[in-house]
Amino acid sequence: MAVQAEVSTADGAGAGSGDRLDPELVRLALVVLVGAVVVQLDATIVSVALDTLARSFDVGVSTIQWVSTGYLLALAVVIPLTGWSVERFGGKRMWLASLTLFLVGSVLCGIAWSASSLIAFRIVQGAGGGLLLPLMQTILAQAAGPARLGRLMATVAVPALLTPVLGPVVGGVLIDDLGWRWIFFVNVPVCVVAIALAWRLMPEMRVAQRHPFDGVGFALLSPGLAVAIYGLSEAGRRGDFTDPRALVPLLTGLAMIAVFAWHALRTKIVPLIDLRLFRFASFCGSAGMMFLFGLSLYGAMLLLPLYEQQVRGRSAIEAGLLLAPQGLGMMLAMILVGRLVDRTSPRLLVLIGIVLSVLGSVAYTQVGADTSEVLLGGSLVLRGMGLAAASIPVMSAAYHGLRPTDIPRATSAVRIFQQIGGSLGTAVLAVVLAHQLRGTTSGGAAVDLGAQAHAYAVAFWWTLGFSVLAVPMALLLPGRAAGSPRPAAPRDGSAAAESAVGPDPGTPGLVPGETGPVARPV
């Protein structure tokens, strides 16, 4: 029997009531999880294959790095389209189209015959992958409603947090045992299964209102994001923000984004990204937190394996395995956070997560050439627990105070902030590390491992600083859980009494007669 989700007048909690998630909602989460995990894993698998690809196609690093850069730019271009596309075509259609595009791109990448063809096909793959992740969050947020979103996000966030750890290991195994083409071919069966499941089980998401396409906004925002992220990528690769090949595109992209912001606040149509959502403190705090998480998480994922390889002499697979404690910490935190997130203050959970993340980073700020791996592994467990404890409530708190019709564009905005944060974090730490590593060789040959370790320690101080900067943003998050019961109003039901009580925190941002989407059998 088909299931159709629509915006209707029902309980604002979304998909049902009670403490347990409805089976239909759990099934939907599992369906999108199959598609999302392959995209998230692919992005990190390819990162360990660049050296092999360069040797296979007999090209230099400056050419083969476009395999990653092209994919990243494609993501930046399509993410702003998510909100409008869901309104126009529906979540299920866009999910199937994006999965199909990612599948086609994966097959083409696997049969690539040159570096230029691989780069072109990675752009195709990135266009599909860039839509899938924000689509996943939009579909689940619309189906779950605010009172259940936290627990649902705790389920689907596991691969998002684990893939940066597992990706390099899986990539190393595939390359060593099967060859580089299989890092793309491995996506094919998973995508086929994901498409079949979505076709059969995913409900149609009927949108109550469609808005015209913001062509001016798209012409400004998508290229602006792509150019800015390219500039950040070049700054990280060259180790210098002042290099004209990094500075010019970075400033150009930022200027285009600024013009988009001016356009979005003045246009009479609904802009591609509605900046007026930032008047909600919770959304503003969530967007800022996602930006800083991008800085800290992706920046650290650059430093951690490089430290193990350059200072400790580990292989790529060994370095990947040594990051496993962070994944363990994430899984431990997920078990607890998944039970508490819809019944506990998002602000409290995030602040606890920040404290754990800071504590887990301290040992790396003091790292040396022979620091105990047990100490570093234990620190990674703490860091993983902190990242998980903070990221889940942040994702769900982004929708506090918003109407269901605001969800698609809100998701696009949050994903953009995360993408920019990740790119900026990687670039900043790459530049910091490059400056610190200068002069760590003596006589032009012998490597001073102690000096190299100190260079990484300085860079790790920056990741700790990014975590501390998240505290003011965390204070903007709601002090009460989305599913908290509404305060009792006086029995007279007067307008004054209703005003004193305020809107139902379980259905934030809804006016009388307007509720979240619910799943209904057709």
pTM, rounded to two decimals: 0.72
Q: Are 493 and 397 in contact (CB under 8 A)?
A: no
Residue 518 corresponds to which tokens in the numbers above?
Answer: 């619910």
φ/ψ of 50, rounded to 5, equals -60, -40
Give alpha helix (H) positions in 202-280: 215-238, 244-266
Q: Are 414 and 396 in contact (CB under 8 A)?
A: no
- Report the interhelical angle of 146-177 vs 373-397 (nearest 10°): 140
pLDDT tens, residue by residue, 97-151: 999 999 999 999 999 999 889 999 999 998 888 888 888 878 877 777 666 666 6
d(CA 28, CA 22): 10
d(CA 513, CA 485): 19
What was the pLDDT predicted at 117? 92
pLDDT tens, residue by residue, 475-496: 888 776 655 554 444 444 443 3
**SS3 per residue for 119-150:** HHHHHHHHHHHHHHHHHHHHHHHHHHCHHHHH
pLDDT tens, residue by residue, 59-105: 876 677 788 778 888 888 888 888 888 888 888 888 999 999 999 99
Q: Are 293 and 421 in contact (CB under 8 A)?
A: yes
Q: Are 516 and 146 in contact (CB under 8 A)?
A: yes
| Lowest-pLDDT range of 20-24, 377-381, 465-469 | 20-24
Span 191-201, mean pLDDT? 90
d(CA 33, CA 494): 46
Alpha carbon distances (Å) from 28 to 201, 203, 300, 482: 7, 8, 32, 21
Alpha carbon distances (Å) from 224 to 10, 72, 220, 240, 259: 41, 13, 6, 21, 9
Alpha carbon distances (Å) from 120 to 68, 69, 74, 109, 116: 11, 11, 10, 9, 6
Residue 143 corresponds to which tokens in the numbers above?
Answer: 């189906």
380: left (phi over 0), alpha (psi -120 to 50) or beta: alpha
Q: How confident is the model at residue 176 (pLDDT cuts 50, 70, 90)?
A: confident
